[in-house]
Structure 1
């Protein structure tokens, strides 16, 4: 990360699965005219590529090799893996669960770290994930930890899946989320937790617009927002 990149402002939005961080990150970035990093997509893409290639995900070196060689392009709502739009496939629960399972592997995390930091370019970046504020961008001037109770998150995910034409069972989704939350929070490598200087927002009863407004209000209070970096 060069000196120019290190001076580019970043807003990190971390939180558990289905907390709405991706939607909020895109909306905040749109208002500010900034770029977006969906770090979870990189882990999901790695998981999907391993599935498609029949890679043994217990082989950490093999998983990391897949991640390093990913041919990926992000074009708006389209996510291209080796030229194929896999935006819908990477949101499949099987892929999400596998991504959560391989995420603690240090070789994989090291393989993706440089890729994630390369997204930092002017005028600014909104990065969402699970360790954006704690590991990837620890110098970010604004760090958000977005949380919501598991029932609210399961209902949101169930609605999203049904709107996209997928079958979904609320009870099963809640069970999967609780298991994923436990795995993400207790893993030895970069566990899901707020950065010490993060601002926690509970979106359980907030609308998308209300959550976006809360993030933008916090950004407006930072010294960096006064230096002309905000669109």
Structure 2
């Protein structure tokens, strides 16, 4: 049986960055469920499917074979045999992932792999509903958040570092809209699990957040 750490929170809260560092500190496997949903979204977009075409999403999602591999300590997301790490982090893919992830068939298609990984390995898994739906029995549950303005600044900085032009006000509007959509979807809405520890990173650095989560882990698991 593996020890599971579930990190949930809204888009742009830094879940992936924090989860990777926590996993490295503990020598756990990092499972980025958001990347898996992004890979699915990228696949659907490549098939010419739009976010409002729920029936087409349900039908076509079955053609996406998505897996996770590790090479030299780096997580590689594989879609139908192809490494898609370099193409799944755009705003278009992110918005599609937010819409398509609410489709029951999409969630059903990916859920089995996620739970299988967690059942047999020590994992840190981050997403929107890990502690509430995917791993409800996780030993440690964290709800990581930050203000929309803080998240927009962080996202804009990422784009600037990559040389991508962006509008921070539009990014902030997209974040607020995505929060509302994720929190109000019928299936597995974004919310803090009753037994999750809230960590607001608006005024915290990365190392501070990592240390806060490691402290929770030590209290719950190593006590």
TM over 0.5: yes
Structure 1 residues 186-223: Cα deviation after superposition (integer angstroms, max 9, x where no partner): 1111111000100000000110000000000000001x
Q: Take 2:178 and 2:52, find their aligned partners in 1: how far apart are those partners?
A: 18
Q: Which moved more, 1:11-20 or 1:66-75?
A: 66-75
Structure 1 residues 145-197: Cα deviation after superposition (integer angstroms, max 9, x where no partner): 00100000000000011112221110110010010011011111111100010
Choose which of 183, 190, 193 in structure 2 pairs with 1:192: 190
Q: Take 1:59 and 1:172, find their aligned partners in 2: how far apart are those partners?
A: 24
1:225 aligns with 2:222: yes
Structure 1 residues 110-149: Cα deviation after superposition (integer angstroms, max 9, x where no partner): 1211121122155510000000000000000110000100
Q: TM-score, normalised by structure 1?
A: 0.88
1:55 counterpart residue number: 49
1:28 aligns with 2:28: no
2:11 counterpart residue number: 17
* 1:12 aligned counterpart, secondary structure: strand
Q: Where do 5+ consecutive residues of structure 1 fail to align?
A: 1-6, 227-231
Q: Check conservation: 2:140, 2:196, Cα contact below 8 A.
A: yes
**Number of residue equivalences:** 219
**Deviation (angstroms), 1:59:** 4.6
**Deviation (angstroms), 1:56:** 5.2
2:79 counterpart residue number: 81
1:176 counterpart residue number: 174
Q: Check conservation: 2:40, 2:66, Cα contact below 8 A.
A: no
Choose which of 17, 37, 53 in structure 2 pairs with 1:43: 37
Q: Where do 5+ consecutive residues of structure 2 fail to align?
A: none
**Deviation (angstroms), 1:65:** 4.7
RMSD over aligned CA atoms reads 1.7
Structure 1 residues 104 and 72: CA distance shift in structure 2, 3 A: closer
Q: Take 1:65 and 1:128, find their aligned partners in 2: how far apart are those partners?
A: 26
**Deviation (angstroms), 1:69:** 3.5
Q: TM-score, normalised by structure 2?
A: 0.91
